Amino acid sequence: MSAAWQSARRILCIRLDSLGDVLMCTPAIRALRQSIPGCHLTLLTSPSGAAVAPHIPELDATISYRAPWMKHEELATTAALQDCAAQLASHAFDAAVIFTSYSQSPLPAAMLCHLAGIPLRLASCRENPYQLLTHWVPEHERDRATRHEVQRQLDLVAHVGCSTSDTALSFAIPSKAGTHVAAKLEEAGIDARAPYLVLHAGASAPSRRYPIRHWLVLIGMLGTRFGYPIILTGDRGEVEWLRPLAETWVGPTHSLIGKLNLGELGALIRSSSLLITGNTGPAHIAAAVGTPLVDLYALTNPQHTPWRVAHRLLFHDVSCRNCLRSSCPQGHHACLDLLAPRKVLEAAVELLVALPARPSRTDDVALAFE
C-alpha cells in the first residue's frame, strides 16, 4: 500500500445506488477498515442507500445525496450539487473510493470529489480519467459483466492494497428489532421460534417484479406443501400494488407489508427458514444474515446474484438478458412471467430438504447490536 493511502484517515466511500448495491460494497468497505488502521469511513449514497447505513457497523457516518447523474424521480438542482461539494469539502476527506457497477461512469462523482478538494480518488473507469482520478483501475468489463458485484468492489480496493479475509456481506440487526418482530408474530398467532417462510414480493423496478398472479398461485402451493406460516413483506410504497396478496389469503398467511422498518425486516428474515424474493435488497439482507433463499431473478444484471449463501436462482432464459433496464424494454417480461410457480415450489422444497434445520433464533443471537 502506498504511503499516501496508508496515512489516509478520513475516507469517503461513494455508492449512489440503492440498498442492495450498498450492501454488496460492505466487504470492500471492511477491507478499507481493516487495512488502514484508525481510518474514519463516511458513506455518500442515495436516500435509499442511506437507509441501510445504520446497519453497517464498518461505517462511521453517512451523507445522503440525490446525484443528478443517477436515476431519481426528483430533479437535482445546480445549487444542490454545489451544496454537496461544499459539504464534502468541509469534511476535509483525505481519500475517496468511488464504487460503481460496470455500466456506470465514475467521472461525475470523481469531478464532485475533485471540486471538494479530496486529494486521493480511486475508481474503475472505461475512458482515461486524466486528473479526475489519482488511482485508476481500467474497466475491462466493456461488453459484458464477468465478476460478481462484490468481487468487483473487492478488486477495486485491492488496487490500493486493501483486503480482508472476511468477505461476507454486513448487516447488523438491532436487538430491539427481534423483540418487536416476535411481538408482531405473537399478535398474529405465530410462534417466532417455529419454522416460517417469508415472501417479499415487492421490488423497486418493475422489471424485477414477479407477477402477482404467480405469487397467488405460489402461496397456495406453499401452504399445501409445508403448512408453515407464510409472512408477506413489502415496502410501504408497495402496499397498494401488493394489496391482492394481503387481502386474498387468510389462515397460515399473514401480511406485514408496509409494517416493518429495515431492522425488523432483517430480524424477520434472519429467523425464517427460507426467503422467497426477487433480485432486491432483501435478497442481499438474507445473504448477509445467512438465510437460504429462492431468488426469482430478473435477467437485468448478471452481477447481483446472492453472495455466499445457500440459494436457488430461478428465471426463464431470454435473448434480451442483461438489459440493465428498470422496465422490460421488450414489453413481455418473459424472464419472470414465464417462470412457473411450480418451479419456485420445487426450488423451495430442494432447499428446505437439503439444508439442516435452522435452530430457533431470538434477538440476542441475531447479529444484534444496540
- pLDDT means per 10 residues, the chain with 370 residues, are 92 96 98 96 96 97 93 77 95 98 93 97 95 93 76 97 97 95 93 92 82 93 91 90 78 88 97 94 96 88 88 82 70 84 96 72 41
Note the pLDDT of residue 143.
Answer: 60
User: Do both 180 and 148 map to the same domain?
Assistant: no
Burial of 108 (0-12, 13-18, 19+ CB in 10 A): middle
User: Do both 142 and 199 map to the same domain?
Assistant: no
Residue 166 lies in a domain: no
User: Do both 116 and 260 map to the same domain?
Assistant: no
**Which residue bears the cell 445522503?**
64
Residue 170 lies in a domain: no
User: Do both 106 and 222 map to the same domain?
Assistant: no
- Please tell me the distance from the alpha carbon of residue 134 to that of residue 123, in angstroms, as a whole number: 9
Would the CA dihedral through 146, 165, 53, 136 be positive or negative?
A: negative
Residue 290 lies in a domain: yes
- Please tell me the distance from the alpha carbon of residue 197 to that of residue 226, in angstroms, as a whole number: 10
Note the pLDDT of residue 367.
Answer: 40
User: Do both 205 and 144 map to the same domain?
Assistant: no
C-alpha cell at 185: 408474530
Note the pLDDT of residue 317.
Answer: 77
**pLDDT tens across 279-306, in order?**
899 999 999 999 999 999 877 677 889 9
Q: Which of 101, 127, 158 is the last residue of a domain?
A: 158
The 10 Å Cβ neighbour count of residue 111 is 16
* Main-chain dihedrals φ then ψ at residue 341, nearest 5 degrees: -55, -30
User: Do both 223 and 317 map to the same domain?
Assistant: yes
- Collapsing DSSP to helix, strand or coil, 42 comes out as strand
Strands annotated E in the chain: 10-15, 40-45, 61-64, 95-98, 120-125, 135-138, 173-174, 197-200, 230-233, 253-255, 274-278, 293-296, 311-314, 368-369
Residue 360 lies in a domain: no
Residue 362 lies in a domain: no
User: Are the CB atoms for 33 and 58 separated by under 8 Å?
Assistant: yes
Q: Which of 107, 129, 158 is the last residue of a domain?
A: 158
Residue 153 lies in a domain: yes
Residue 191: CATH number of its domain: 3.40.50.2000
Q: How many domains does the chain have?
A: 2
Residue 171 lies in a domain: no
User: Do both 78 and 24 map to the same domain?
Assistant: yes
Residues 6+ apart with CB under 8 A from 352: 226, 273, 274, 292
Q: What is the DSSP string of 188-227?
A: TT--TTS--EEEE---SSGGGPPPHHHHHHHHHHHHHHH-
Q: Which of 158, 189, 214 is the last residue of a domain?
A: 158
Q: Could you list the residue range(s) of the whole structural domain that residue 329 is in?
A: 176-355
Note the pLDDT of residue 208.
Answer: 78
User: Do both 134 and 210 map to the same domain?
Assistant: no
User: Do both 114 and 237 map to the same domain?
Assistant: no
User: Do both 198 and 324 map to the same domain?
Assistant: yes
* Main-chain dihedrals φ then ψ at residue 16, nearest 5 degrees: -95, 10
User: Do both 145 and 228 map to the same domain?
Assistant: no
**pLDDT tens across 134-148, in order?**
999 998 776 666 789
User: Do both 65 and 183 map to the same domain?
Assistant: no
User: Which 3-state string (H, E, C) describes 305-339?
Assistant: CCCCCCEEEECCCCCCCCCCCCCCCCCCCHHHHCC
Residue 312 lies in a domain: yes
User: What is the pTM assigned to this prediction?
Assistant: 0.91
